[in-house]
A and B are shown apart, each in its own frame.
Chain A
Amino acid sequence: MIPDGHHGGPHLTTRSFRAIGTTATVVVQDTDVADEAARLLAADLEEIDRACSRFRPDSELQTVHAHAGATVQVGPLLFEALRVAVDAAERTGGAVDPTIGNAIAALGYDVDLDEVLTRPAEPPRALGSVAGYAHVQLNPSDSTVRIPRGVRLDLGSTAKAFAADRSAARIARTVGSGVLVSLGGDVAVAGGPPAGGWAVGIARESSASAFAGAVDQVVAITRGGLASSATAVRAWKAGDREVHHILDPQTGDSVPLYWVLVSATGASCVEANVVTTAAVVWGPEALAKLAGFEQSVRLVRADGEVFSVNGWPLEQAA
């Protein structure tokens, strides 16, 4: 765990560590509760991983896979994560679909990303099939789920945002202080914000390593969440092809490069994440489709042009 210390401006204390294949960060306004907040976040992420991971052989999701074709009773955490994933699919017309598990594994993302990035590139495999979210049957009355035989789920697009929302709310309640939780840039805030709001940097998105870590804009939020979806991160080689983690459920392949970074705010991190992922999948149609949503969105096209939808500020702070 990295104690990042204090930042300029409001008195904020940060703790960061690696979990669920990403960088987990918790920021609090009261230094005395920073370690407790980090401990709570780590415990929450362990729970999420045990419930939702498609890499851990002992996860509850793997039990659902093992019993595909049959009805399986699951715990409340996995059931809620599945409900969030299916809801996201319904709201985006299937652009964000949890049944891409086989397809993303066929592209080579079949183990934790750190391992994918360090192992030798594998020869390309045939694209995997996507059953479609409509085949996921959830029954809230007895907390059961049924997926078709052979289908595998990937909750990656929504579970991280769901986890950020859940942990931010729980930590704020427990420590009695405003808190920001970031899971790889999927940000949720809860409790009272610091003066001026929670400042979040929007990455200068480029595949060029010279820009790695650079910030293009700093925005502040006081509630809800902020999420970004990028095609230059979580990318790897499949044979001689560069692929990334955002798949088009209609093709089972990585989305063609059109938007390189999409960021959004929402009433929750999940709300924000749903539109950022969907926008990447929608490609050139995203601007028109986002008009049907309320979230403020910032989109960076592959040629560097920046677009704003529903009031995302384009100007820089003075």
Chain B
Amino acid sequence: MSPQKDPNAGASRDQARARLRTLTRVALFATTGATVGIGIVIAHEHPGKSAASTTTTGQSTGGSTGTTGSSGNTGNSGSSSTGNTGNSGSSSFSPSTSSQKPSVTSGGSGR
């Protein structure tokens, strides 16, 4: 009977550890390469974005919407909503009515 190789012998243990190190390095290298590859694809298809970032899309539609007509400022008759798609990048607002004496007038003959 030929003698069995002791798996716990020193030489075998060293060989096993060497193979494990090699496999670990290969796996680590492959994982890193795949991550970089994914990042390159994302950067190419979505310039300015990070692979880890979450993108929120959509735009503000501002305040109230629609078009309203009235005769002589007495009411809101003839309302017909037209919707409002809005322009991105703007921060417009509606004025409020005021009971103060105006400092200036817009649209008058003083132009």
Which chain A residues have a beta carbon within 8 Å of chain B's beta carbons? 7-10, 12, 14, 22-23, 25, 27, 91, 180, 182, 184-187, 196-203, 205, 212-221, 223-224, 226-230, 232-234, 261, 263, 265-267, 271, 287-288, 290-296, 304-318
Query: Nearest Cβ distance between residue B100 and chain A, in whole angstroms?
Result: 4
Report which B residues bind A (CB closer than 8 A).
Answer: 62-73, 75-76, 82-87, 90-111
User: Closest residue to B82 on the A side, CB-wise?
Assistant: A291
What are 9 A-B pairs at a CB distance below 8 A?
Answer: A27-B103, A202-B106, A203-B107, A217-B97, A221-B93, A305-B71, A306-B71, A307-B67, A313-B94
Q: A180-B104, A291-B85, A312-B94 are in contact. Are A218 and B99 (CB under 8 A)?
A: yes
Minimum C-beta distance from A291 to chain B (A): 4
The residue of chain A having its C-beta at the shortest distance from the C-beta of B75 within the complex is A314
**Nearest CB in chain A: distance from B107 CB, A:** 3
B95 to chain A, nearest CB (A): 4
Q: Which residues of B contact A313 (CB under 8 A)?
A: 94-97
Number of A-B residue pairs at CB separation under 8 A: 216
Query: Known interface pairs A212-B109, A307-B68. Does A185 touch B104 (Cβ–Cβ under 8 Å)?
Result: yes
Taking CB atoms, residues of chain B closer than 8 Å to A288 are: 82
The one of A25, A196, A224, A230 in contact with B92, judged by C-beta atoms closer than 8 angstroms, is: A224
Give the docked Cα–Cα distance between A199 and B98 (Å).
6
The 4 closest A-B pairs by CB, nearest first: A228-B107, A203-B108, A201-B102, A184-B111
Given A219-B95, A294-B62, residue A213 in contact with residue B104 (CB < 8 A): no
Give chain B's interface secondary structure class. Answer: loop
Q: Give complex CA distance A187, B105 in Å.
A: 9
Asked whether, in the complex, the Cβ of A306 is within 8 Å of the Cβ of B70, the reply is yes
Instruction: Tell me whether B102 and A293 are in contact (CB under 8 A).
Output: no
A306 touches B103 (CB 8 A): no
Partner of A308, one of B70, B104, B106: B70
Contact B92 A266 (CB under 8 A): yes
Query: In the bound complex, do residue A296 and residue B92 qualify as a contact, i.e. CB atoms below 8 Å apart?
Result: yes
CA A210 to CA B98, docked complex, whole Å: 24
CA distance A198 to B104 in the complex (A): 9
B109 in contact with A220 (CB, 8 Å) = no
B62 to chain A: which residues have CB within 8 Å?
A: 294, 310-311
**Are A307 and B69 neighbours in the complex by a CB distance under 8 Å?**
yes
Contact B72 A304 (CB under 8 A): yes
Contact of B97 among A180, A294, A315 (CB under 8 A): A315
Residues in B with CB closer than 8 Å to A220 are 95-98, 100
Residue with the highest number of chain B CB atoms closer than 10 Å, among A186, A197, A219 = A219
The answer to whether A197 and B107 touch across the interface, beta carbons within 8 angstroms, is: no
Structural contact, A8 and B100, CB atoms closer than 8 A? yes
Bound state CA distance, A226 and B106, in angstroms? Answer: 8
Q: How far is the CA of A306 from the CA of B70 in the complex (A)?
A: 5
Whether B94 lies near A187 (C-beta < 8 A) is: no
Please judge, given known A-B contacts A294-B87, A295-B92, A317-B97, whether A311 and B64 are in contact too, CB under 8 Å: yes
